[in-house]
A = this chain, B = another copy of it.
Amino acid sequence: MTERPLILISNDDSINAPGLRVLVDCVKNIGNVWVVAPEKPQSGMSSAMTVNGPLRIKEYPEYNGAKMYSVDGTPVDCIKLALHHIVPKKPDIIVSGVNHGSNAGNNVLYSGTMGAAMEGAMIGIPAIGFSLLSHSLSADFSHCTDYITSITETILREGLPYRTCLNINFPKNKINGLKVVRTALSHWTEEYREYVDPHGKPFYWLTGSMINEEPDSDDTDLYWLDRNFATIVPTQIDQSDLGLIPSVKELLEE
């Protein structure tokens, strides 16, 4: 009998997020599931890690056959500690999410969900980040679950090239189909609201909205999410801009 694959799950919304349990439910029949997720919400934590402080691991009762652990750090901390001190062997796949909120467009740069996936990709573990375009804790994930199971099965079987992962986003209410695309050029704008505290001192709170810089480009994630398609962006770790090396060489090399 072949050994069942080891599936490591993490997220950035914390061990208590409903989306995490949805993900366990989706993949429990295709492998042995280990969950190592942040103790507290870590949205917007990107690939941050704890470099100068202690980390603790907490164990919870199993959920639906899955081993459950939290780490009091970031999503990257969860993956690193999971690999070094929790899971019994190198995972066959890492799945992250299901995130409560979009990681399409330039959100991917800030995403803790994708930070966890990239951490796996960097050491050759196939990895997928799943996100739903709704921040609600009572969001309905039922239109996504068959996709999550089937994509995870496929990637478990086929693998992904070294140092790549998938960034998958689902529309909020229904899915007309799947599109494999690139990240839309985009940025956030009007980003802080100003307040005054009871002692008269100002403070600032992040807000604002995403600007799609290329709304008509039909090879991008934001274009198809707007049209109720799920989107898959193959994502690489390396950010070296190889095409720019010759001109920078000319400008700056001695």
List residues of chain A with CB under 8 Å of any chain B CB: 41, 43-57, 74, 76, 80-81, 84-85, 106, 108-110, 115, 118, 122-123, 151, 154, 158, 161, 163-164, 166, 177-183, 185, 187, 190-192, 194-195, 201-206, 232-242, 244-245, 248-249, 251-254
The CA-CA distance from A139 to B166 in the complex, in Å, is 41
Would you call A46 and B48 a contact (CB within 8 A)? yes
The CA-CA distance from A236 to B182 in the complex, in Å, is 14
Would you call A46 and B115 a contact (CB within 8 A)? yes
Would you call A240 and B248 a contact (CB within 8 A)? no
Would you call B235 and A248 a contact (CB within 8 A)? no
Would you call B241 and A235 a contact (CB within 8 A)? yes
Can you list the 8 inter-chain pairs with the closest CB atoms, starting with the nearest?
A234-B244, A182-B240, A44-B51, A48-B48, A46-B47, A54-B203, A46-B46, A236-B241
Would you call A206 and B46 a contact (CB within 8 A)? no
Interface of A is mostly: mixed
The CA-CA distance from A39 to B10 in the complex, in Å, is 30
Given A43-B51, A46-B47 in contact, is the A85-B192 Cβ separation under 8 Å?
yes
From B41, B106, B164, contact of A241 by CB (8 A) = B164
Residues of B within 8 A of A48 (CB): 44-46, 48, 74, 110
A238: nearest chain-B partner, CB-CB: B183
From B44, B106, B180, B187, contact of A253 by CB (8 A) = B180
A134 → B minimal CB distance (Å): 16
The CA-CA distance from A151 to B180 in the complex, in Å, is 39
Would you call B239 and A237 a contact (CB within 8 A)? yes
A221 → B minimal CB distance (Å): 9
A235: nearest chain-B partner, CB-CB: B239
Would you call B41 and A239 a contact (CB within 8 A)? no
Would you call B55 and A178 a contact (CB within 8 A)? no
A176 → B minimal CB distance (Å): 10
The CA-CA distance from A80 to B240 in the complex, in Å, is 24
From B106, B164, B237, contact of A109 by CB (8 A) = B237
The CA-CA distance from A47 to B182 in the complex, in Å, is 20
